[in-house]
Amino acid sequence: MPQTLTLQAIEKVTPDVNRLTFTMPQGMRYRPGQAFDVALDKEGWRGEKRPFTPTSLPSEGKLEFTIKSYPEHDGVTEQIGKMQPGDKIIVDEPWGAISDEGKGWFIAGGAGVTPFVAIMRQRLADKGTLEGCELIFSNSTEADIIYRDEFESMPGLSTYFTVTDQKKADVHTGQIDKALLSDRIKPGKGKCYVCGPDDMIEEIVATLGDIGVSEDDIVIEQFD
């Protein structure tokens, strides 16, 4: 059954990404990595649903979304970026998306990293370390790297940041390609989680297969 949530706070994470914190109704349940279909609770927008993944943990008693706005699309994410405390959204039941299937490599592009945030936070809460996990995270520029400081401070987590539209940077530059994946991934030694734009997912999944990663070891977002 759809539920209406009230925005408590909104703050910038990067120039075009906001962290939005909502009240979480009593009894709401979801797993880290799951998504909700979200609509703005205002005239003309209630039928415009978009899937977003909470970056908060269910045990926190709040619902936090980290959402990139695309003003050029003149759509839902642009409106979300303009929200103010007291505004409301409508959320449907959570649906099964990426879940934690063990140690390995988390490969993300841009806002596609959001399902991994809650998964990693939960793993830290349960085990105290992310030993055996690596985040390979591609963005346009360094300024676009979501939660960089948090990722770099997560105990046990290795991070490999790369940017595609910035020639000089304090991180690696270039695409997530076959050479990069071959260098960093050891087939059979862990899961490969992939999330990002559809074309990126398709290309990376194919490349992982090319370098010897079993289909059973590739975890991508699945729709019910």
Q: Model confidence over 15-37: pLDDT tens digits?
A: 999 999 999 988 899 999 999 99
What's the chain's average pLDDT?
A: 93
CA atoms within 13 A on the CB side of 94: 19
Q: What pLDDT does 224 receive?
A: 35
pLDDT grade for 74, boundaries at 50, 70 and 90: low
pTM of the full structure:
0.93
* Average pLDDT score over residue span 91-119: 92
The pLDDT of 133-162, averaged and rounded, is 97
Pick 74 or 43 by higher pLDDT: 43
pLDDT at 190 over 90: yes
**Does 213 or 75 have the greater pLDDT score?**
213
Query: Which domains are delineated in the chain?
Result: 3-91 (2.40.30.10), 104-220 (3.40.50.80)
pLDDT of 221 strictly over 90: no
What is the phi-psi region of residue 212: left when phi exceeds 0, alpha when psi lies from -120 to 50, beta otherwise?
A: left
Please say if the pLDDT value at position 72 is more than 90: no
* Tokens 């980290």 found at: 66
The region of weakest confidence among 55-59, 94-98, 106-110, 144-148 is 94-98
